[in-house]
């Protein structure tokens, strides 16, 4: 018995360092209660007189009474199925505190023991009391607490996975061993005077130690995880609601109560349809999976707020289920998007009007041009203006497509795009040499603005060249299901301002003039599900890879020079 006490004490001390965790405190106290029980029982074996054995039994009942109480509160704190308060713990412990106190007045007051005596057997002298009525009530209540704690751990086994499930199952085995031994003792299956329960606690202590080493007992308990999650949810600015399947609010965070214009206590148990009818219509719509959708909610100050509502279904072991609703306030973002959309339409309309004026004036210049040399600049102005008109129309179409949440991807004949880009660059920059080596046909999947990608790359290479005769080479080939295009120049390399703009993935006002072109190129390539790489050794080499369209292949054309 002394060995049982030593094992329980050693394991309890080892667990006491986790006293900052509520479940760790209760488990350590449980082991200390077992230490008292086993230690007093061992001391009683060492005494042969009635007074000594009576004192040892009275001390032992301190541990006997605390053990089922601490087991139950440990189970409740471990899985957090029941909220523990000091009042509840004291209420559970009160009956067993009374029975432990009754041993100190028995047999004078025959509640626990009606009489005490010693009986001699072949193995020695043992304490043989005559049990009073309170003893049997004590036994029933103790086993009831044991059952409650076991049910709580069984619920944890069902509702958790991985390490937590293994921990809970192991703890069920821990308690089953000593209580099975105690039940067989009370049933008279062991010799009189020999209670195997303390020895069974040796096995339980070893099991707890093994779980501590192999399953990180208390390092990763559901209670620790639950407390952390509660703290995170409580501190969120985003409203969170937990609903039953019938739409009744079972929990919410302070932000959720504020949206409903109510307190948490008032909101719990109310149907969401009564508290927030606009939100109820959104979150109860049939869905197959987690989803987000806009929800328009009238706030307590009378203003309309727009939220992205994320609805997630949950279930635990098939026993409980419902929905978790998380709201993200996007009112200001939506307002900003609307303003940008209106501004975009206004600017596009005004730009088209001004460009039409430019085109009209170029037509007036045609009759007054003396020869082809005079007409060429007019034609270039007209071509550029008409290209800008086409661009504004493309912007409108892409904006409409992006509003649907889909990428406007289609098949683009990259070979033709590259030939047009090279031809335009030669016309705009006659001092530059622009070479093209590309297949006659190279279909790829991308957005409609791919010509802007390569037009910007070639123009950027020429404009940032520090010599009088820039040289740019454009090469395209198909490999590994992709079209790979490289634009190489012999200039000074990519300017620092543009590298900074690309690295930050944003455009500031200071970097707009020099960096916006390549930033736009990067965005367009990514929207086409492609990738882009910049190398700045001995000039600049830009490599663009785009997904090839099905059946895309072709023979290569010869090089062209400007």
What average pLDDT does the segment 424-436 reach? 91
Per-residue pLDDT, 381: 82
| Domain 236-329 falls under CATH 3.30.450.20 | yes
Residues 388-401 pLDDT 10s: 777 777 666 566 65
d(CA 170, CA 354): 79
Domain boundary assignment for the chain: 2-225, 236-329, 332-406, 408-562
d(CA 495, CA 502): 11
d(CA 62, CA 99): 9
- Asked if the model's pLDDT at residue 434 lies above 90, the reply is yes
- Asked if the model's pLDDT at residue 4 lies above 80, the reply is no
DSSP letter, residue 559: P
- Asked if the model's pLDDT at residue 60 lies above 90, the reply is no
Cα-to-chain-centroid distance, residue 234: 16
Cβ-contact 75, 153 below 8 angstroms: yes
What is each CA distance from 317 to 74, 120, 138, 451, 531, in whole angstroms?
22, 54, 34, 56, 45
* Crossing angle between the packed helical segments 162-186 and 133-159, to the nearest 10 degrees: 160
Of the options 3.40.50.720, 1.20.140.10, 3.90.400.10, 3.30.565.10, the CATH number for the domain spanning 408-562: 3.30.565.10
What is the average pLDDT value for the chain, to the nearest integer? Answer: 77
d(CA 558, CA 556): 7
Other CB atoms within 10 Å distance of the CB of residue 443: 21
- Asked if the model's pLDDT at residue 340 lies above 80, the reply is no
d(CA 213, CA 4): 20
Residues 208-224 pLDDT 10s: 667 766 665 555 555 55
Residues 225-282 pLDDT 10s: 555 566 677 778 888 888 888 888 888 888 888 888 888 888 888 888 888 887 887 7
pTM of the predicted model over 0.75: no
Largest pairwise CA distance in the chain: 138
Per-residue pLDDT, 355: 83
Domains 236-329 and 408-562 share a fold: no
Cβ-contact 261, 300 below 8 angstroms: yes
Share of the chain above pLDDT 90, in %: 11
What average pLDDT does the segment 493-518 reach? 57
Q: What is the CATH number of domain 2-225?
A: 1.20.1070
Per-residue pLDDT, 346: 74
Q: H helices of 187-250, where?
A: 197-214, 222-234
- 226 phi, psi to nearest 5 deg: -65, -40
Cβ-contact 112, 132 below 8 angstroms: yes
d(CA 200, CA 186): 14
Residues 67-119 pLDDT 10s: 888 888 887 877 666 667 778 888 888 888 888 889 898 888 888 888 888 87
Per-residue pLDDT, 527: 84
Residues 20-38 pLDDT 10s: 567 778 878 888 888 888 8
């Amino acid at each position: 018995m002394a060995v049982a006490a030593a094992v329980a004490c050693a394991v309890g001390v080892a667990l006491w360092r986790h006293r900052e965790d509520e479940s760790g405190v209760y488990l350590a106290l449980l082991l200390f209660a077992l230490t008292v029980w086993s230690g007093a029982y061992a001391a009683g074996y060492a005494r042969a007189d009635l007074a000594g054995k009576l004192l040892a039994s009275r001390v032992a009942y301190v541990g006997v009474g605390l053990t089922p109480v601490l087991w139950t509160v440990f189970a409740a704190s471990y899985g957090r199925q029941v909220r523990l308060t000091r009042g509840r713990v004291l209420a559970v412990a009160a009956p067993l505190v009374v029975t432990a106190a009754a041993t100190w007045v028995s047999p004078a007051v025959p509640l626990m023991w009606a009489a005490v005596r010693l009986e001699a057997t072949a193995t020695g002298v043992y304490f043989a009391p005559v049990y009073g009525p309170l003893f049997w009530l004590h036994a029933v209540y103790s086993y009831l607490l044991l059952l409650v704690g076991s049910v709580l751990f069984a619920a944890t086994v069902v509702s958790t996975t991985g390490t937590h499930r293994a921990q809970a199952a192991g703890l069920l085995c821990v308690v089953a061993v000593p209580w099975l031994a105690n039940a067989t003792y009370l049933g008279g299956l062991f010799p009189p005077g020999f209670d195997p329960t303390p020895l069974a606690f040796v096995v339980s202590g070893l099991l707890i130690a093994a779980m501590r080493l192999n399953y990180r007992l208390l390092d990763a308990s559901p209670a620790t995880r639950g407390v952390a999650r509660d703290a995170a949810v409580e501190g969120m600015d985003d409203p969170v609601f937990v609903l039953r399947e019938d739409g009744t609010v079972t929990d919410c965070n302070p932000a959720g109560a504020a949206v409903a214009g109510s307190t948490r206590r008032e909101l719990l148990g109310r149907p969401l349809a009564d508290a927030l009818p606009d939100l109820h219509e959104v979150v109860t719509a049939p869905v197959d999976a987690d989803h987000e959708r806009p929800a328009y909610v009238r706030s307590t100050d009378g203003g309309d707020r727009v939220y992205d509502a994320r609805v997630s279904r949950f279930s635990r072991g098939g026993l409980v289920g419902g929905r978790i609703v998380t709201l993200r306030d996007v009112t200001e973002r939506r307002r900003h998007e609307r303003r940008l959309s209106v501004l975009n339409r206004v600017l596009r309309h005004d730009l088209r009007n001004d460009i039409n004026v430019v085109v009209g004036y170029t037509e007036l210049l045609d009759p007054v041009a003396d020869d082809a040399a005079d007409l060429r600049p007019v034609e270039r102005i007209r071509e550029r203006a008409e290209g800008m008109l086409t661009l504004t129309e493309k912007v409108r179409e892409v904006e409409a497509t992006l509003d649907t949440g889909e990428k406007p991807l289609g098949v683009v004949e990259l070979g033709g795009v590259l030939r047009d880009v090279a031809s335009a660059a030669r016309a705009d920059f006659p001092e530059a040499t622009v070479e093209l080596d590309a297949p006659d046909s190279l279909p790829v999947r991308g957005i409609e603005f791919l010509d802007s990608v390569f037009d910007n790359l070639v123009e950027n290479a020429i404009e940032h060249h520090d010599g009088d005769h820039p040289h740019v080479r454009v090469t395209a080939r198909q490999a590994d299901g992709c079209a790979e295009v490289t634009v190489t120049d012999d200039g000074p390399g990519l300017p620092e301002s543009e590298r900074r703009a690309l690295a930050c993935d944003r455009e500031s006002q200071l970097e707009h003039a020099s960096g916006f072109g390549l930033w736009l190129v990067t965005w367009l390539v990514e929207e086409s599900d492609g990738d882009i790489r910049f190398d700045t050794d001995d000039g600049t080499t830009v490599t663009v890879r785009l997904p090839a369209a099905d059946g895309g292949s072709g023979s290569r054309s010869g090089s062209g020079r400007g």
